[in-house]
Amino acid sequence: MTQLIYLACPYSGTNYERHLRFLEANKTAGILIEQGFHVFSPISHSHPIKEICGLDGDFTFWESYDKRMISLCDLVVVLPIVGWIDSVGVQSEINFAHSIGKSVKFIDLKNYQIIEEKYDWSKFYK
């Protein structure tokens, strides 16, 4: 059976930063879909809704929704772009996934492959 991935990605920041993160989440979701995964990307889904309806973009607004979606997915995959370590939302999603026994993995930004959680993150930061 095809794995259903929850794609965790930082979102907060300026309008420009949020837009760039939205685009990167869409790109990554598309690549993962091409690789044969089913992907739920909360940023891809909720950013347009937030913008059109004027909803809050804060994680606390979306937290219960995101947790419900994580509970339905097979694993959480983190998109480790700038801001992920300090993101309240991403850290909460990781902690929640662990608390319900879901696997958490990461995207290698060089080749968009899913990699294990225990990884040398110094490669991503210069």
Query: Tell me: the pLDDT tens digits for 62-116?
Result: 899 999 999 999 999 999 999 999 999 999 999 999 999 999 999 999 999 999 8
CATH number, domain 10-118: 3.40.50.10400
* pLDDT for residue 62: 81
What is the C-alpha separation between 26 and 125, in angstroms, rounded?
Answer: 22
* pLDDT for residue 40: 97
Q: What is the pLDDT of residues 15-50, one digit of tens each?
A: 899 999 999 999 999 999 999 999 999 999 988 888
Tell me what the mean pLDDT of segment 3-7 comes to.
97
Q: What is the pTM assigned to this prediction?
A: 0.89
Domains of the chain, residue spans: 10-118
